[in-house]
Amino acid sequence: MTKSTNGKGLSRRAFLGLGATAAVAGAAGLAGCAPATKEEIASSADGGAAAGGATSGNPTEFTPSFLNPPEPVDESKVTETIDVDVCVVGLGLAGVCALREAADAGVKVIGLEKGPDVGYRSGEFGTFGSEIHKQLGIEQPETQEVVNELMRVMGNRPNAQLLNYWIANSGPDLDWYIGTAEHELLTSDRDTPTDPEKPYVFPERCPVNENYNWREENYPCFPGMVHLLPDHGWAMHGTLEAAQAAGAEARFNVKGEQLIKEGDRVTGVYASDEDGNIIRVNAKLGVVLSTGDISSNTEMLTYYAPQATKYGVFFSSMDKEGKPVNQGDGHRMAIWAGAVMEDGPYAPMTHSLGTNSIGINPYLMVNQDGQRFANEDVGAQELQNAIKRQKGGVSYQIFDSKWKEQLSVMPQCFGGVTHYIPPEQEAEYEHAINHFAAGYASDTYFQSEIDAGSIIPGDTIEDLAKAVDIPADALVATVERYNELAHAGKDTDFSKVSTRLFPIENPPYYIVPFGDSGMLVLIGGIDCDAECRALDAEKNPVPGLFVAGNTMGGRFLVDYPVTVAGASHSMAMSFGRLAGRNAAAGK
């Protein structure tokens, strides 16, 4: 079985889909795993009060404490000085790629990470034009199709130059990234690895279904995502080892504290080790900040994206004190050095995924009042946006016994299920059925989700209503109206396409509760140009300062689109590599 997990054995689908609320509660021992309370909002993740500016009058004049630079480091307390060309702060995906690229350029480079190891989570990568795509014959859209769609769904706010660079380079960057370790490439999403405990690459939704044409979808999902399994660690550690072999140094349990400037130029960083010793790193060519996002810093999250405080936050990489490492360290250091945050609104990554057997397939969806509330034929992120606005932030997916024959016309998207495997073929397709995003369903797995309470059966619509405690009369009326629309072949209520408008009239019936999705990251970062150089308030580069990964801006705004599933990882890889290259060149 190859279900992706996010630390502590928690599956990504369970966290993001129907079980998110319960999953967050179960991980209550992890800092930052619950929605912010009023008391927490009054205090930052570092323990400081959310104060420091005006507390009355115009709220836009309020200055939170994290914007106030700390006192300069006392040089007499520096216990070690390190001289390098480039310093990379934060060794997640972007940082490790920056470290290796700088080392490959022949410069002296050091990477600092406040956690005990490189930070990584799931291993989905949405890329274009890699050797994998060529080898498997995966047809992909033209660059302008992808860029224009991404810009459309994000309100034309991202930096299109960054998107164009990413699409042109993500394929070769993926080949470079995974080429550091031996791995097996599966030839389709129905293949089984020779040894599931050893590194392999799983091409998701490959081949593309004959009846799925992304160009005709209102919410297209472009093909080409690959999943690094059994987890992402083999590629991360392989890249780190390649960087070290090229001469890079990496130190863990070392936290970046403040940037060092000489005039307008960033020339290094002060850091602290696990014993509290102060280290000065002089970096004559540049510093790359790749410390992750801000979602575990309550003060920053509340200030920049108050709507996101409604979500439970889960982040599996911890520092030596057991706190999530994504506290916005790099954002704050950059701001104190003269860079600025990009304009919002920032994008919470909060997509729903549903059950493994049905996923987010666009069946009837109702709220706690038994009322339909949206066109269900949307992407995973868009679905969660609609669910979050309902009473209690929950909803219910309803379908009937004909679900097996309906899967083939469902969208082959991230979180969608499009293949039914009959009992006699279950053994052959076991790997695909058990993989959380492959899109394969079976009677055995469907029954296991009934046994687990994820899917609830009923002989009547009233039975379903009683099972989840929603008004039976309202639900019956909603189903009757939905059936009327389905038979008419036109959704005049919410405009769902008729090809996915199925009547619910063949018992047994089924209902799936969708819980409140958790937030993986809050995407919003330091304003930067197409070279990953941090920008000041006048849009001029801050000399010597580069940003990558979730510390950089310009990639995603408003929403995280799953048009290209795995785009966040892919961009972290590509822009981490670019930032490392440009820092090494002293740009």
Residue 312 confidence class, pLDDT cut points 50, 70, 90: confident
Separation of alpha carbons 123 and 224, rounded Å: 14
Residue 151 confidence class, pLDDT cut points 50, 70, 90: very high
pLDDT value at residue 121: 85
Any idea which residue has 């998110």 for tokens?
20
HSE-up of residue 505 (Cα within 13 Å, Cβ side): 12
Enter the DSSP assignment of 544: E
The number of beta carbons lying within 10 Å of the beta carbon of residue 540 is 12
Q: Express each pLDDT in 336-353 by its tens digit.
A: 999 999 999 999 999 888
Q: Express each pLDDT in 414-445 by its tens digit.
A: 899 999 999 999 999 999 999 877 899 999 99
Residue in 269, 543, 217, 551 with CA at minimum distance from that of residue 409: 217
Across the range 47-52, mean pLDDT stands at 37
**Is pLDDT of 531 > 50?**
yes
Across the range 226-248, mean pLDDT stands at 97
pLDDT value at residue 178: 97
The number of beta carbons lying within 10 Å of the beta carbon of residue 83 is 12
Residue in 251, 236, 238, 240 with CA at minimum distance from that of residue 84: 251
pLDDT value at residue 511: 98
**Is pLDDT of 271 > 50?**
yes
Assess contact for 102 and 246: CB atoms under 8 A. Answer: no
Percentage of residues of the chain with pLDDT beyond 90: 80
Percentage of residues of the chain with pLDDT beyond 70: 90
Q: Which two tokens stand for residue 513?
A: 């509760």
128 vs 435, residue with greater confidence: 128
pLDDT value at residue 319: 83
162, containing H or E segment: helix 160-178
pLDDT value at residue 1: 35
What domains lie within the chain, and their CATH numbers?
75-120+234-347+524-584 (3.50.50.60), 124-232 (no CATH), 364-514 (3.90.700.10)
Separation of alpha carbons 469 and 295, rounded Å: 33
> In whole numbers, what is the pLDDT of the chain averaged over residues?
90
**Is pLDDT of 458 > 80?**
yes
Assess contact for 92 and 317: CB atoms under 8 A. Answer: yes
Residue 554 confidence class, pLDDT cut points 50, 70, 90: very high
Displacement of CA 328 from its chain's centroid (Å): 16
Across the range 222-251, mean pLDDT stands at 96
**Is pLDDT of 61 > 90?**
no
Task: Report angle CA 286, 288, 293 to the nearest 5 degrees.
Answer: 155
Across the range 538-566, mean pLDDT stands at 96
**Is pLDDT of 574 > 50?**
yes
Residue 526 confidence class, pLDDT cut points 50, 70, 90: very high
Residue in 250, 311, 217, 220 with CA at minimum distance from that of residue 109: 250
HSE-up of residue 141 (Cα within 13 Å, Cβ side): 22
pLDDT value at residue 60: 67
Separation of alpha carbons 58 and 35, rounded Å: 27
pLDDT value at residue 365: 98
pLDDT value at residue 14: 46
pLDDT value at residue 351: 84
Q: Express each pLDDT in 188-234 by its tens digit.
A: 999 999 999 999 999 998 998 888 898 899 899 999 999 999 999 99
382: CB partners within 8 A, 6+ apart = 219, 559
507 vs 27, residue with greater confidence: 507
Residue 38 confidence class, pLDDT cut points 50, 70, 90: very low
- In 237-319, at which residue ranges do the beta strands (DSSP E only) sit? 249-252, 255-262, 265-272, 278-289
Residue 75 confidence class, pLDDT cut points 50, 70, 90: very high
Task: Report angle CA 570, 532, 286 to the nearest 5 degrees.
Answer: 120
**Is pLDDT of 314 > 80?**
no
**Is pLDDT of 56 > 70?**
no
